[in-house]
């Protein structure tokens, strides 16, 4: 077997010539979250609960179509794929029943990725546990194993699931993420990570539910890994490693009082029950629950709502056929009753809370639990098991480590867990843009600084002006990377998810073809990545079937850089005049509307409109108005391999100027120069200035995917290069009078906080 194409040297990736490699990646693909047969995006209810009889073959796309998609991504400058797959895709039919057809399809797709020279790391993806609890990931049978009945999650609000939501097109924006703080996720993640400690009566097939679930999850990924090993031609090229489970959550572990919302819970939207209220409604009891909305300054309480399941329970009834999947549940674990009641947390007859602090301390030693404690104990224990499994199949695997989102990473620096092959993989999204689906160029918030208590009051975390917002993003990403180094040691940092919503401003870009807001937001995120000195990233996301009405076909998300309803990106050369007007004229009415005072925050007066879904097509009465989907921002120059150490790089979109600096201990060998992706999209012609050496610009072909490549031969020492391309029409976004008006609006918002 050939040497690994990618190795780690401190905080950098290196190729076999010891050049620094920058991973410029994309998540492929978001529609791998749901089955292909039947085709079941999250708005389709038909046969939804027939979860055993599905197939993920042809996700992320068919073998026949793989050439089209990989050629497209390669031509856009991506060299890395975060390959999305789910536990459900492997083991949907029941415990230990693996879908070999899907595995062989996956192997065939990975071989296509190899043809295009991608680096690939495998991501076992999940969101709020499962499709049947409003997300993706685990098979349906895992919920039955936990004693839960997914057919009654909707009436009890144990989870909000778009597939069974009345009028799924009106499913509220981003409400799916609140499922982490509803009953199902609170139960299942607690059991997955710490069932031994907090639910010792939950025994199935002679083992605690924690071990049962983890054994099957790790076993499913191991089965896939072994099949990849047996294929004989995928390890090292293209696959370089495995990531840990996506966006893990602690469930109830560490809740000091389940009768109140924990102070660290920052996302509240729609009904927002306490864990105790979720327990009550999950067992069929009516509760008056506070409702919240998310405005420009974050969540705010909007009222209350009666949730009345009318006696229906999210827990399996005693009549359920518990032999369906072949397991044997211990008699001490009774169906028809809340598992927490069986552990003395509450009295279902009196409906009284008995142990509000049941999850507050570690039963093994009495230690107080917070998220950091959880990460250093239960999450780390799982990581050790998972990592050991991967290393048993691929001893030299890079291990892409992803702790819970925006939480303090585990303290493994200098310990046995400080594996030199670890890659730190945090996630980052601008929450205000993601949840309000608007790009606010006037102000934003340093969320990470607030989470780490770096301000006396959150008001000091507010950043005013677009330059300050861009720098704020960069500072947050840098701080996240540095925190990883402080806690885990020196490792590469790769942001394995970062991205923006495209359906901003009530989908206004889809009516006009003008993507100015999306360009500004996406460019700000890329600017932050470039300034943070991360070793790479994987943008979220690429979705084959994205369209303007359903977005990514999953829970109302619309983050794909590709859509069937948008204009294809030109292969090369300057825009036509019409394309320039459609996609870059930031003085257009759509851009002005996107930044109007009305859209700076979401409140009771405009909430209804903000949450509405406007059915529309990519056609208007004036003809075809499709745009380029902010390609100006995501197709950008980037270093591929650097001879020496990369000091800094960045792309100034406004001025179409790319700069890079490096430090080399020797001059560049003739056959292994520094290599830069220089998209013809921005650089149909170029002016190059260097500190010295020689350079060339020429096309490079990968099985039909053509990239424009700059090669640079330079001397040792500190070196710089600047490349200037074609400046497109930009213009001034706002006048000084507009800026003053928006600042006044911001001050009024602060006055009512």
**Hey, which residues are catalytic here?**
247, 497
Q: Alpha helix (H) ranges present in 157-270?
A: 183-198, 209-231
List, edge to edge, every strand of the sheet that includes 298-307. Answer: 270-271, 287-295, 298-307
Backbone angles phi, psi at 288, to 5 degrees: -90, 120
Structure-token match 């790319």, residue found:
658
Q: How far apart, in whole angstroms, are the C-alpha atoms of residue 135 and residue 176?
A: 7
Q: How far apart, in whole angstroms, are the C-alpha atoms of residue 570 and residue 409?
A: 42
**CB distance 657 to 722 below 8 Å:** yes
Structure-token match 């492997």, residue found:
90
The CA–CA distances, whole Å, from 444 to 470, 480, 499, 738 equal: 9, 18, 16, 18
**CB distance 590 to 504 below 8 Å:** no
Question: Which stretches of 691-748 are assigned E, i.e. beta strand?
Answer: 694-702, 705-713, 717-724
The CA–CA distances, whole Å, from 472 to 295, 330, 490, 528, 551 equal: 20, 53, 24, 8, 28
Collapsed DSSP state (helix, strand, coil) of residue 90 = helix
Per-residue DSSP letters for 459-499? GGGEEESHHHHHHHHHHHHHHHHHHHHHHH-S--BEEEEE-
**If you compute the radius of gyration of the chain from its CA atoms, what whole number of angstroms results?**
26
**CB distance 500 to 433 below 8 Å:** yes
**CB distance 361 to 369 below 8 Å:** yes
| 3-state helix, strand and coil shares in percent for the chain, rounded to the nearest 5 | 35, 20, 45
Q: Which two tokens stand for residue 7?
A: 């190795």
Backbone angles phi, psi at 174, to 5 degrees: 60, 15
Q: H or E element: which one contains 89?
A: helix 87-91
Q: Which two tokens stand for residue 581?
A: 């007007």
Q: Distance from first CA to last CA of the chain, Å, rounded?
A: 62
Per-residue DSSP letters for 112-180? HHHHTT-EEEEEEE-BSSBGGGTSBSB-THHHHHTTB-GGGHHHHTSS--GGGSSSGGGPPTTGGGGGG
**CB distance 26 to 539 below 8 Å:** yes
Q: How far apart, in whole angstroms, are the C-alpha atoms of residue 412 and residue 408?
A: 12
Cis peptide before 541 (omega within 30 of 0): yes
List, edge to edge, every strand of the sheet that includes 657-664. Answer: 645-652, 657-664, 717-724, 687-690
Provide the CB-side half-sphere exposure for 275 (13 A, CA): 29
């Amino acid at each position: 077997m050939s040497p690994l194409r990618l190795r780690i040297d401190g905080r950098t990736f290196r190729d076999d010539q010891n050049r620094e490699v920058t991973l410029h990646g994309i998540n492929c693909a978001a529609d791998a979250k749901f089955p292909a047969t039947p085709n079941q995006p999250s708005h389709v209810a038909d046969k939804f609960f027939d979860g055993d009889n599905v197939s993920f073959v042809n996700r992320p796309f068919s073998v026949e179509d793989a050439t089209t998609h990989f050629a497209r991504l390669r031509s856009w400058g991506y060299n890395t794929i975060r390959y999305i797959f789910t536990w459900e895709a492997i083991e949907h039919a029941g415990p230990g029943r693996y879908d070999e057809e899907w595995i062989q399809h996956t192997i065939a797709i990975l071989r296509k990725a190899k043809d295009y020279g991608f680096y690939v790391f495998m991501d076992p993806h999940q969101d709020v546990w499962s499709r049947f609890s409003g997300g993706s990931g685990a098979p349906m049978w895992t919920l039955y194993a936990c004693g839960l009945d997914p057919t009654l999650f909707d009436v009890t609000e144990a989870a909000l699931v778009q597939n069974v939501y009345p009028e799924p097109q009106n499913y509220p924006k981003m409400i799916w993420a609140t499922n982490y703080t509803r009953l199902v996720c609170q139960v299942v993640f607690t059991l997955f990570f710490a069932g031994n400690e907090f639910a010792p009566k939950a025994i199935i097939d002679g083992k605690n539910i924690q071990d049962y679930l983890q054994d099957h999850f790790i076993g499913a990924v191991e089965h896939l890994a072994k099949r990849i090993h047996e294929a004989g031609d995928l390890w090292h090229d293209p696959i370089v490693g495995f990531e840990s489970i996506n966006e893990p959550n602690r469930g109830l572990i560490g809740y000091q009082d389940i009768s109140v919302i924990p102070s660290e819970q920052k996302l509240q939207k729609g009904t927002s029950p306490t864990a105790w209220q979720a327990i009550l409604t999950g067992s069929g009891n009516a509760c008056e629950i506070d409702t919240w909305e998310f405005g420009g300054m974050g969540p705010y309480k909007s009222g209350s709502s009666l949730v009345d399941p009318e006696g229906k329970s999210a827990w399996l009834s005693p009549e359920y056929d518990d032999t369906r999947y072949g397991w044997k549940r211990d008699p001490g674990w009774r169906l028809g009753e809340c598992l927490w009641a069986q552990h003395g947390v509450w009295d279902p007859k009196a409906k009284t809370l008995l142990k509000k602090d049941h999850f507050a301390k570690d039963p093994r030693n009495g230690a107080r639990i917070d998220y950091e404690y959880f990460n250093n104990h239960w999450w780390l224990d799982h990581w050790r098991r998972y990592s050991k499994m991967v290393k048993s199949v691929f001893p030299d695997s890079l291990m892409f480590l992803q702790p819970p989102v925006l939480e303090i990473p585990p303290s493994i620096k200098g310990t046995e867990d400080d594996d030199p092959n670890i890659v730190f993989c945090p996630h980052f999204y601008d929450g205000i843009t993601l949840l309000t689906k608007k790009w606010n160029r006037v102000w934003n918030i340093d969320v990470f600084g607030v989470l780490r208590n770096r301000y006396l009051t959150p008001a000091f975390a507010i950043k005013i002006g677009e330059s300050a917002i861009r720098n704020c993003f960069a500072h947050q990403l840098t701080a996240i990377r540095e925190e990883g180094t402080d806690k885990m040691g020196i490792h590469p940092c790769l942001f394995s998810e970062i991205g923006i919503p495209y359906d901003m401003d009530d989908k206004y870009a889809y009516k006009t073809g003008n993507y100015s807001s999306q360009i500004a937001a996406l460019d700000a995120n890329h600017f932050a990545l470039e300034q943070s000195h991360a070793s790479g990233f994987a943008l979220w996301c690429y979705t084959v079937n994205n369209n303007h009405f359903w977005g990514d076909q999953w829970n109302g998300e619309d983050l794909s850089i590709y859509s069937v309803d948008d204009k294809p990106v030109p292969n090369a050369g300057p825009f036509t005049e019409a394309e320039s007007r459609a996609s870059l004229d930031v003085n257009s009415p759509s851009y002005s509307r996107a930044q109007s005072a009305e859209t700076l925050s979401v409140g009771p007066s405009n909430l209804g409109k903000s949450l509405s879904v406007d059915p529309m097509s990519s056609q208007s009465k004036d003809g075809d108005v499709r745009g380029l989907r902010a390609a100006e921002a995501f197709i950008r120059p980037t270093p591929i391999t650097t001879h020496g150490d990369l000091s800094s790089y960045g792309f100034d979109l406004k001025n179409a100027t790319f700069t890079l600096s490096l430090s080399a201990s020797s001059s560049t060998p003739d056959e292994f120069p520094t290599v830069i992706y220089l998209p013809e999209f921005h650089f149909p012609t170029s002016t190059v200035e260097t500190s010295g050496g020689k350079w060339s610009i020429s096309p490079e072909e990968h099985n039909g995917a053509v990239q424009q490549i700059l090669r640079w031969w330079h001397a040792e020492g500190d070196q710089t290069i600047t490349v200037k391309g074609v400046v497109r029409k930009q213009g001034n976004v706002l006048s000084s009078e507009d800026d003053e008006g928006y600042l006044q609006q911001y001050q009024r918002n602060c006055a009512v906080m």
